[in-house]
Chains A and B, each alone.
Chain A
Amino acid sequence: MEVKVVNLKKYFKKTKAVDDISFDLLSGQITAFVGPNGAGKTTAMRIMATIDEPDQGDVLIDGISAIQYPEKVRKLVGFMPDFLPTHPDMTVDDYLDFFARAFGIRDYEKRKKIVRQTEEFTNLITIKDKFLKALSKGMKQRVSLARAIIHDPPVLILDEPAAGLDPRARVELRESLKALAKKGKIIFVSSHILSELAEICDTVVIIEKGKLLKAGGIQQISRENMHLSVMIRSTSDLQKLAQALQKMPQIKDAKVMPNCVAAEIKGSEAESGKILAALVKDGFEIIEIKHVKTSLEDIFMNITKGELA
């Protein structure tokens, strides 16, 4: 199973919401879809989920065009929008039962079993008889996820699934997504909480102003955009320490922080040993020297400029 996004374009009058983006998603991978607000993430996801049509390009899910055969693609895709549409006078159980029927699960016993399993998986079992309108935002998000997975699709497209969830529910969601990826599903998830995505995602797609900036494995992109930094704690004068560091050929930049000096190193980790030796030789009393890893947030900040489409 593979998802191919090919030269996707979507314009709203003169605004280029999605501007010629292409990337691939593979089975068993969780892919983060990140970009500033208004970058075109939701538009691209809606096209992939057959809700909107692009002006150009295509989305191929297992080789089937989402533009030409949306009804076939819907069997393969579970879409979780960033909000749950309002349905008056409907309980959680009725809602999921309807979707199970709508996705062609007609047999009563089988349907009941699937609905129950889904409710258990998404922790909805205790609120299954509650009306949808009485649910909190977090609960609605769970119902939305349950609806997306009720027909056991191989591809899951989740738009801001963690929005409105409390910390416990976020941890549970992360675990759920990991479990689904282990089953071989393709999970494409957008979120603003990058630290959470970094923990669970294998690959990342970064867009800004509708344009694709980076797509690939998180580790590979991290390596490409790596800025090796060290954090040095010392009892000596931090100002003098920073000045000494800036004179060293291995150092790109050094800044005084509240309790330490942060320095960006040119070259590999091995350079930090040479730096430490030189500092000790110059008479600085070093308490601690620590490498700082580049986070997904750092990569995102480095790659994007924060401009709207």
Chain B
Amino acid sequence: MNSPSVKFADRINPIVVKEIRQAVKGRFTSWTLILTLAIELIIIGFVLVFSKDIGKNFSIGQSLFVGLLMFLLFVCVFLVPVSTGTRISSEKTSSNVDLFFITTLKPVQIISGKLLTAIIVILLFFTASLPFMTLTYLLRGLDLPTIFVILVFNFLVTAGCVQFCIFQACLPGGIVSRIMRLLITLFILLVVYQIAGAASSEMLHKGIGSTITTWDFWSHALTSVSYILIGLGFLFVISVALISPTSANRVFSVRLYLLFSWLATGIISVIWFFAAQNRSFLQAWLMLMTITFAINMLASVCERQIPSQRILKDIPKKPILRLPAFFLFSGPAGGVSFSIIMLTMTFLIYSLISEIIAPPLKAFSDSNQELLLTAIGLALYACCYSLTSLNIKAAFFKKSSTYSTMTGIISFLLVGSILPVIIGFLLRQNIWEELSPLWYIGNPMVLLLEEKIWVECFTFTGIWASVAFSISLPWFFRQLKSFKPI
């Protein structure tokens, strides 16, 4: 008869068991941990030996805490996520068939196993460093709740970094693309490291622990945590979809998740909008959803146009279920339509709450339509680029792979954004100052930088999107008509 602990061990994700065993038997994790603790000890010793007037200096605890935290963050933001990502990247190559190709492990088990293992390792580093961190409390200048809040915040950030690295490792591509992605990832991690460090210092100086009982703390903390967790969940769902079989309806869970997060973040934002009487919550939701669905629209173009036999078999037989299924099943037509519908609903709900329901209330008498217009402009740019790419793909590259289409779209976006500027620069005899903002009109970012040419931007994208939409409309109807089970 197996004991409960054995039964529990039998239920653990096989990848977690394998990777933890490897970590315990290998040298990398143990030596990194020993080295981390040794360096933290040296930092403490150095500060204690060389600081003058320890008894009178009230900021010494804070300084030491920041020093220790930045070192711990360096290990947990760079080493653990990058090593997790590179391992997945190498295991995903077809020359290494073990995990992704020959076992019956589900994609969700693989990703959750990798994420959980990295989180356990990070937790090990945090736990091992905790005695040194709390030692700083004895040196004064900070309180225990502040230490706790900062550590929780940074733990969430590092978990996000791990999931981001797992996501980028799951993306398709050859060796060149993998190296480029690694460099981009390292840059993003560096930015996150700096932001997390700066945010931790800010929390420390403000003494965030003292505000722990206030409404303001919890409104911001819960909103931030919700957004981090939803973002983490989104990357998780995409990673699972990326390593799922290409014949499967890979985007189903992604689109359902998008729908769920749109609803969940929308409800949170509306509640805080009215409760805290602060527009920033709703504005953040508007921009976040605009960017998310704009990216989703571009990504949808990469999906295969001819559905697999497996997808065709899974299409609901009842016509009433078939229409919603069209938007949730793999395929560029459904994906682009889904994004357009979600963007339209986002703008309508934002306008309804921010511009119609809220203004009569005293706290919201000021109107802010600029942000809404920026969001609509960004959505129009996304429509222009995705519909044009879709038309080009449908006409010339029907059988192109996801990776080739993705590369094509990114190149199209770069050319559309940069080429007119270069032409303008050359025509203007190499004088930047004389370059009209109109030369930037192909770049979506112009909406954020140049308010002067908004009219031109909307005219340009409006005409472009209408033309692209008119051309692709018959194709959309053909796709909808052919969306039938076999």
Contacts and interface: CB of A to CB of B under 8 A. Distances in A.
A191 to B, nearest CB: 19
Contacts of A67: 247, 308
Contact of B10 (A68, A71, A106): A106
Contact of A94 (B21, B95, B104): B21
A108 B102 contact: no
Contact of A87 (B10, B14, B98): B98
Interface residues of B, number: 34
Contact of B21 (A49, A79, A90): A90
For B21, B98, B99, the residue with the greatest tally of chain A CB atoms inside 10 Å of its CB is B98
Contact of A70 (B22, B27, B99, B245): B245
Given A89-B25, A107-B10, A108-B9, A71 B245 contact: yes
Contact of A81 (B11, B97, B106): B97
Interface string B5-25: 011011100110110011101
Given A85-B96, A101-B17, A102-B14, A71 B104 contact: yes
Interface stretch (A50-58, A173-181, A201-209, A294-302): A50-58
B94 to A, nearest CB: 6
Given A90-B25, A108-B2, A103 B308 contact: no
Contacts of A88: 22, 26
Interface centre among B6, B9, B10, B94 (most CB of A within 10 A): B10
B22 A50 contact: no
Contacts of B7: 108
Contact of A75 (B11, B95, B104, B106): B104
A52 B9 CA distance: 33
B14 A98 contact: yes
A104 B246 CA distance: 23
Interface string A96-131: 001101111011110100000000000000000000
Interface in A184-201: none
Contacts of A77: 102
A266 interface: no
A89 B247 contact: no
A51 B102 contact: yes
B365 interface: no
Given A89-B22, A98-B14, A50 B101 contact: yes
A45 B467 CA distance: 48
Interface in A26-84: 46, 49-53, 65, 67-71, 74-75, 77, 79, 81
Contacts of B245: 69-71
Contacts of A53: 246
Contact of B104 (A89, A98, A103, A111): A103
Contacts of B247: 67-70
A102 B104 contact: yes
Interface in B14-57: 14-15, 17-18, 21-23, 25-27
Contacts of A69: 245, 247, 310
Interface string B85-103: 0000000001111110111
Contacts, number: 86
A145 to B, nearest CB: 13
A52 B2 CA distance: 40
Contacts of A74: 102-104
A107 to B, nearest CB: 6
Nearest to B93: A85
Contact of B106 (A71, A87, A111): A71
Contact of A68 (B18, B95, B106, B309): B309
B104 to A, nearest CB: 5
Given A53-B246, A89-B26, A109-B2, A102 B103 contact: yes
Nearest to B24: A89
A51 B98 contact: no
A169 B394 CA distance: 56
Contacts of B14: 98, 101-102
Interface in B227-258: 245-247
B10 A108 contact: yes
Nearest to B26: A89
Contact of A104 (B2, B98, B104, B308): B104
A51 to B, nearest CB: 5
B105 interface: yes
A98 B309 contact: no
Contact of A108 (B6, B18, B99): B6
B308 A68 contact: yes
Nearest to B309: A68
A70 B96 CA distance: 17
Contact of B18 (A46, A94, A104, A111): A94
9 contacts: A51-B94, A51-B102, A69-B310, A71-B106, A102-B104, A104-B104, A107-B2, A108-B6, A151-B104
Interface of B: 2, 6-7, 9-11, 14-15, 17-18, 21-23, 25-27, 94-99, 101-106, 245-247, 308-310
Interface of A: 46, 49-53, 65, 67-71, 74-75, 77, 79, 81, 85, 87-91, 94, 98-99, 101-104, 106-109, 111, 151
Given A81-B97, A89-B25, A102-B99, 18 more contacts: A65-B310, A67-B247, A67-B308, A69-B310, A74-B104, A75-B104, A79-B102, A85-B95, A89-B22, A90-B22, A90-B25, A94-B25, A98-B17, A102-B14, A102-B15, A106-B11, A107-B10, A108-B2
In the complex, the 4 A-B pairs of residues with the closest C-beta atoms, listed nearest first: A89-B26, A101-B14, A102-B103, A68-B310
